[in-house]
Each structure stands twice: as C-alpha cells, then as structure tokens.
Chain A
Amino acid sequence: EAAVTQSPRNKVTVTGGNVTLSCRQTNSHNYMYWYRQDTGHGLRLIHYSYGAGNLQIGDVPDGYKATRTTQEDFFLLLELASPSQTSLYFCASSHWDTQYFGPGTRLLVL
C-alpha cells in the first residue's frame, strides 16, 4: 500500500505567522494533493500537482501556496496565517485512480 507521511502532525502558530506543512510519498505517484477538513464542509481541495515543478489550483486556494520540489515531496505554505486556516490538513497521492491519504496535520492559528 502507498505510504504517505506528513509533518508536523500538530502545529500551533499565531496570526500572521509563517507555516510550512510537509508531505512525502514513497511510491512514485504522479499526483499529490493538499486538502483541508472542517466541520460542516468535508474535505476541500486546496492545491494539487501532477509532477515535480507542476502546481494546479484547487477549490479553496486563497491564502495558500504550494510547491512540488520532487516526485516525492509536496509542501503547503501559509505565509500569513489567519484563524480561519485552523483546520485538519491532509495530503494524498495517487497514480491514476485511488488516492492514498497521509495521517493529517492539525493546525491551530491563534
């Protein structure tokens, strides 16, 4: 089964802070995704990528940047964190069909 890891698992920052969430997959999947999960909204797609150097805009991209540095690594950047970005963040990867999810990162913005 695909292995997707995320770090950190928990993060607390203050409003205006700078946060980077990391994701690594070790199965050479083409696609990688960043989602956020909030009560009442389900999972929503922030950004995704189909290869190193590629970035596609998701459904809720405002306030987020992302970068795919290698086939394995996908980063989500919050440069001026706001309390509205408090959420559970998931990374996922896939080749063609099934998406495999990481364990999630809980972010609290005070």
Chain B
Amino acid sequence: GQQVQQSPASLVLQEGENAELQCNFSTSLNSMQWFYQRPGGSLVSLFYNPSGTKHSGRLTSTTVIKERRSSLHISSSQTTDSGTYLCALERLQQGTGSKLSFGKGAKLTVSP
C-alpha cells in the first residue's frame, strides 16, 4: 500500500493566506523531503528534514517522527507559489542505498 499519504490533494487560496500541507507515513524513515514542482514540470528541492522544524523564507517544514507526520507551512502565499508540492519519504537500506517514496502531491492555486 501507499507508504506516504499526502493531504489535501488540492488547495485554493487568496493571495496572503497561509497554507498547511500534510504528509503521513506508515513506515520507518531516514528523512522526509519536500519538493516544489513548477507548472512546467521541473522539481525543486525545498527541504531535507529528518526531524524537527526548518525554515526557509516563508516556508516552514516540521517532521515529527513519533507521530509519523511531516508538514509544510507556507505563510503569506503569493501567486508565484502556485504549483504542486510533493513530500517524499527517504529510506536508507544497507547495501542498496537511499530510496524515495513520494506522496501523490498537493496542487496549490493562489489567486490574486
């Protein structure tokens, strides 16, 4: 079954509103990663977060291992934040290395 459950699947905001995206995972992990996928398709890494809280500008990532969840908070959203946000669970396996399992993504639309 799906190891990473991402919610919501889509979100529509007015510019200036905040967004909270969630990922829940059902297996052990080495880290959670968050990516932004531009409408044109390319992916950009936002956070590599094994645990705790990390900040980058208006973005905040929080991973709580015990509760098997990770979140991405976008404050004061802008129209340029529109796109798809993906979380990915990283597993490290001895002998075969690092693998990512992705959630299905959250499509964010920010209107002016």
Which residues in A have some Cβ–Cβ distance to B below 8 Å?
30-31, 33, 35, 40-45, 48, 50, 56, 58-59, 88, 90, 92, 94, 96-104
Residue from A56, A88, A99 in contact with B33 in the complex, judged by beta carbons closer than 8 Å:
A99
Q: Which residue in B44, B48, B90, B99 is a CB contact (below 8 Å) of A58?
A: B99
Contact size range, B: 20 to 34
In the assembled complex, B101 has its CB within 8 A of some CB on chain A: yes
Which residues does chain A contribute within 8 Å of B79, judged by CB atoms?
Answer: none
Give the chain B neighbours of A96 by CB distance below 8 A.
Answer: 98
**CB–CB B102/A42 < 8 A:** yes
Tell me the dominant secondary structure on chain B's binding face. strand
Neighbour of A31 across the interface among B44, B45, B97, B102, CB < 8 A: B97
Is residue B12 within 8 Å, beta carbon to beta carbon, of the partner chain?
A: no
Out of A42, A100, A103, which one reaches B45, CB within 8 Å? A100
What are the residues of chain B within 8 A of A42 when measuring CB–CB?
86, 102-105
Give chain B interface residues in 78-111, CB to chain A under 8 Å: 86, 88, 90, 96-105
Within 8 A of A (CB), among B41-58: 41-45, 48
A59 to B100, CA, bound (A): 10
Residues in B whose Cβ lies below 8 Å from that of A99: 33, 45, 100
Shortest Cβ gap from B106 to chain A (Å):
11
State whether the Cβ of B31 lies closer than 8 Å to any Cβ in chain A.
yes
In the complex, the answer to whether A44 meets B102 with C-beta atoms within 8 Å is: yes
Complex interface: chain A residues within 8 A of B97 (CB): 30-31, 48, 50, 56
Task: Give A68 Cβ to nearest chain B Cβ, in Å.
Answer: 12
| Contacting residues, chain A, for B105 (C-beta < 8 A) | 42
CA of A88 to CA of B45, assembled, Å? 18
A35 to B35 Cα, complex, angstroms: 14
Q: How far is the CA of A43 from the CA of B103 in the complex (A)?
A: 8
- Other-chain residue from A31, A45, A90 in contact with B43 (beta carbon distance below 8 A): A90
